[in-house]
């Protein structure tokens, strides 16, 4: 199974689309990777992913606004197309299975108003948490249950 996980920000408000009688949300997520090249220059690369998420009750769209930080996971699909200028380009689409709202840019930029509010996770912490969860799931899937016949072989 091929799965893609992304933590990024919405580029615009989600749009509701009706496909074959089912409601779907269409939105784009931007993931920006920043690093320093060997010449010491700061480099920033942004990857846009077009997402489609089934929304049976139609209530999720109100929370998916431009700038909202989200965690999405699902099945990716790459497409190639020719632009109006004749260039061959590609796009990345994601059929979203899981979506978590991580906050909006306004919430991230605003100072904490009360000591009782829990601080938001940083991007790095969220990535590390997602990686740990994935590793834990893989470990649990690979670990045989206790007292299982055949798993206590002496070699």
- Interval 136-153: pLDDT, tens: 666 665 555 555 555 455
pLDDT (tens digit, 9 = 90+) per residue, 36-45? 999 999 999 9
Does 87 reside within a domain? yes
Alpha helices in 10-149, H assignment, sequence order: 105-109, 123-142
- Buried b / exposed e across 7-42, counting CB within 10 Å, b at 16+? bbbbeeebeeeeeeeebbbbbbbeeeeeeeeeeeee
Does 130 reside within a domain? no
Does 88 reside within a domain? yes
Does 18 reside within a domain? yes
pLDDT (tens digit, 9 = 90+) per residue, 107-122? 554 443 333 333 445 5
- Domain with 74 in it: what CATH number? 2.40.50.140
Residue 22 sits in which domain range?
4-113
What distance, in Å, lies between the first and last C-alpha atoms of the chain? 31
Question: What is the DSSP-derived secondary structure letter of residue 147?
Answer: T
pLDDT (tens digit, 9 = 90+) per residue, 75-87? 999 989 898 999 9
Does 151 reside within a domain? no
Q: Structurally, how many domains does the chain consist of? A: 1
Does 60 reside within a domain? yes
Does 49 reside within a domain? yes
Task: Say how far apart CA 77 and CA 70 lie, in whole Å.
Answer: 19
Residue 52 near residue 96, CB atoms below 8 Å: yes
Task: Say how far apart CA 63 and CA 100 lie, in whole Å.
Answer: 11
Does 79 reside within a domain? yes
């Amino acid at each position: 199974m091929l799965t893609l996980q992304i933590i990024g920000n919405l580029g615009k408000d989600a749009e509701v689309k009706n496909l074959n009688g089912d409601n779907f949300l269409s939105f784009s997520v931007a993931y920006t990777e920043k690093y320093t090249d060997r010449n010491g220059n700061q480099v920033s690369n942004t990857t846009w992913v077009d997402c489609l998420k089934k929304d049976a009750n139609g209530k999720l769209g109100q929370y998916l606004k431009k700038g909202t930080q989200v965690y999405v996971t699902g099945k990716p699909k790459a497409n190639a197309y020719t632009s109006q200028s004749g260039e061959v380009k590609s796009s990345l689409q994601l059929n979203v299975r899981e979506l978590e709202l991580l906050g909006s840019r306004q919430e991230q930029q605003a100072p904490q108003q009360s000591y009782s509010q829990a601080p938001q996770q940083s991007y790095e912490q969220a990535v590390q948490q997602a990686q740990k969860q994935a590793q834990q799931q893989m470990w649990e899937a690979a670990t045989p249950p206790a007292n299982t016949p055949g798993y206590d072989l002496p070699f």
